[in-house]
Structure 1
Amino acid sequence: MSRSVIDNYHARMRRVLVFIDQNLEADLNVELLSDASAFSRHHFQRQFSSLFGISVGRYVQLKRMKRASYRLAFRDGASVLEIALDSGFEGPEAFSRAFRRHFDQSPTEFRRAPRWTPWLAAQTPLTQARSQTMTPTTPTEAEVRILDFPETAVGLLTHSGDPAHIGDTIRRFIAWRKAAGLPPKISATFNIFHTEPEDDAAAPHGIDLCAATPRAILPNAAGVVAGVIPAGRCAVLRQVGGGDDLSASAAWLYGQWLPRSGHELRDFPLFAQRVSFFPDVPEHEAVTDIFLPIQS
């Protein structure tokens, strides 16, 4: 079978994944999903499970549960009932049973104090489904922009330690931003990466969560302090899609683009700006700009 035929087959299946992301509130039945891929409804379920290693029904429910868990942990604008209905359940009781089955906590318990180990374990089938056969598109040199980044004062909170527990640090940071009146729509969101988690999953890791602001950072219980992202030349690569894992894009910048570019690196870590992020937008629409500091 030719490469083009396989690529076309996978592209049709990717359309299904995008359609699911865009329509999590809808009745995502087999007829609707098979139409999105232009595959026969008589064979679609077997095609999906054979390619992704998970049934389409389970995939849809896991996607709904993932979005619901993000809204519970990191957003407080919707009630459990609203999140249940948006997740395709008729009421909070059925939603609570399904949520506990996936994450070993009720939605209310998770909103109050998430337990990240079972949460991460529940994401494994989704991660495997997307990565097993759907390889990411390799960037091209034309996608890299060179720009002069302006000095940017930020409020900064460092997560140091087990990357599996970064959710707790994010929750503290979000609470501080709300109290300080610095939501993402008026204050750009940055991450500064001091280590690479994939190097050694057991080792401590460091990442700074940052919100751009010229204001003085007052003493606070969250532990946010004043910081600065210095001015300087940067190579910028935009990643569109889930922003949980930037390692492939970062590796391409370091391993492919940098040696061919002739540039030298500046003495400042790789950092990223979260232009838009899940769950505020569908996961495939999340936008992250990755900045590699280079010398002029």
Structure 2
Amino acid sequence: MAARDRTGPDYASRIARAMALIAARPDDPPGLEDLAAAAAFSPFHFHRVYRAITGETPVETAARARLQEAAIALLKGGEKVALVARRAGYGSQAAFTRAFRAAYGIPPAAYRARGGLGFPVRSDDEEERAMFEVTIRETTPLRLAVIRHEGEYKRIGDAFGRLQAWAAGRGLLGAGTRAVALYHDDPSSVPAAKLRSDAGVTVGPEVKGEGEVRVLEVPGFARVAALRFKGPYAELERAYDWLYRAWLPGSGEEPADAPVMEEYLNDCKALPPSEWLTEILVPLRG
């Protein structure tokens, strides 16, 4: 293999090491020297290579992860905003509020009060059942390059980051590339540390797995329940809760023995969380 052909994959694997370092401590992100050393790049060039491969700076990667953790904490817990800010690594509540408002469009206290951005509060039972539109359709087979993630589902973004660096270094990302996750376990019955999921991107028949990346053939399904959610990933758990609690029991449908899938329909790096589109796909029995 020529040196030029090796450069992309080599750069990607080195940047993936830096991304793993950020993912391990998003509330206290490593400094430039540590990140550059992990990626074996000179500090003078690390930032440019990182941005070229990931589409964002290390600071932006860490900030996105910190704010997502904070959004989840605001929705799920009763901790004071000041404590959420400290846990997210912000030196003051004011700094956290500015960062959160810039990303999510409203202050953290208002975000908590309204229950998020993508899931309006309903009181009437009939409105509750009609909270989202669910369609039943078929899906086509997918060939995915995947990285297995073990642990809390909310942290699958770490695996996606490494996978996208791997794919970018090989010129595999394009306008037609789809980002898909598969979730294999029920988070209400399996300990968080043992949850299994796969972060995936679509690839062609010529692509082979290597290292932590494997190729997975996902069959098409004749019938899936599809729910399109618009809003932050932090709120997806509540959309699942509605789907299984309100829609599925009244639909007459039963889920098939196959993983739930999510497809991410736009770029979370280019758009605010209020605009993120995710399709939840639950295979159904025929």
For this structure pair, what is the TM-score category when the shorter chain's length is used for normalisation?
Answer: 0.5 to 0.7
Aligned equivalent of 1:203: 193
Aligned equivalent of 2:134: 144
Q: Is the 8 A contact 2:139 2:222 kept in 1?
A: yes
CA distance in structure 2 between the partners assigned to 1:101 and 1:249 by the alignment: 26
What is the correspondence of 1:96-175 to structure 2 with a 5 Å cutoff? 103-106=28-31, 109=34, 125-127=70-72, 128=74, 129=108, 132-135=112-115, 136-137=119-120, 140=130, 143-161=133-151, 166-175=156-165
Which 5+ residue runs of structure 2 have no aligned equivalent? Answer: 1-17, 40-57, 75-107, 122-127
TM-score, reference length from structure 1: 0.56
Which 5+ residue runs of structure 1 have no aligned equivalent? Answer: 1-71, 75-99
Q: Is the 8 A contact 2:71 2:234 kept in 1?
A: no
Indicate whether 1:191 and 2:181 are aligned.
Answer: yes
When the two chains are superposed, the root-mean-square deviation of aligned CA atoms in Å is 3.7
The alpha-carbon distance between structure 1 residues 110 and 255, as it changes in their structure 2 partners (threshold 3 A), is farther
More displaced 10-residue stretch of structure 1: 156-165 or 205-214: 156-165
TM-score, reference length from structure 2: 0.58
CA distance in structure 2 between the partners assigned to 1:290 and 1:158 by the alignment: 19
Aligned counterpart for 1:235 among listed residues 222, 225, 230: 225
CA distance in structure 1 between the partners assigned to 2:144 and 2:170 by the alignment: 12
User: Aligned letter for 2:230?
Assistant: V
Indicate whether 1:282 and 2:282 are aligned.
Answer: no
CA distance in structure 2 between the partners assigned to 1:234 and 1:223 by the alignment: 27
Aligned equivalent of 1:90: none
The alpha-carbon distance between structure 1 residues 125 and 258, as it changes in their structure 2 partners (threshold 3 A), is closer
User: Aligned letter for 2:112?
Assistant: Q
Q: Is the 8 A contact 1:152 1:231 kept in 2?
A: no
Q: Percent identity?
A: 23
Cα offset, 1:171, TM superposition: 2.8
Question: How many positions carry a matched residue from both structures?
Answer: 200
What is the correspondence of 1:173-184 to structure 2 with a 5 Å cutoff? 173-183=163-173
User: Aligned letter for 2:31?
Assistant: S
Cα offset, 1:261, TM superposition: 0.6
User: Aligned letter for 1:181?
Assistant: G
Instruction: Please state whether the residue corresponding to 1:227 is helix, strand or coil.
Output: strand
User: Aligned letter for 2:161?
Assistant: R
More displaced 10-residue stretch of structure 1: 286-295 or 105-114: 105-114
CA distance in structure 1 between the partners assigned to 2:29 and 2:143 by the alignment: 40
Instruction: Please state whether the residue corresponding to 2:223 is helix, strand or coil.
Output: strand
What is the correspondence of 1:46-57 to structure 2 with a 5 Å cutoff? none
CA distance in structure 2 between the partners assigned to 1:147 and 1:215 by the alignment: 26
User: Aligned letter for 2:278?
Assistant: T
User: Aligned letter for 2:181?
Assistant: N
User: Aligned letter for 1:290?
Assistant: I
The alpha-carbon distance between structure 1 residues 141 and 250, as it changes in their structure 2 partners (threshold 3 A), is same
The alpha-carbon distance between structure 1 residues 270 and 185, as it changes in their structure 2 partners (threshold 3 A), is same
Aligned equivalent of 1:225: 215
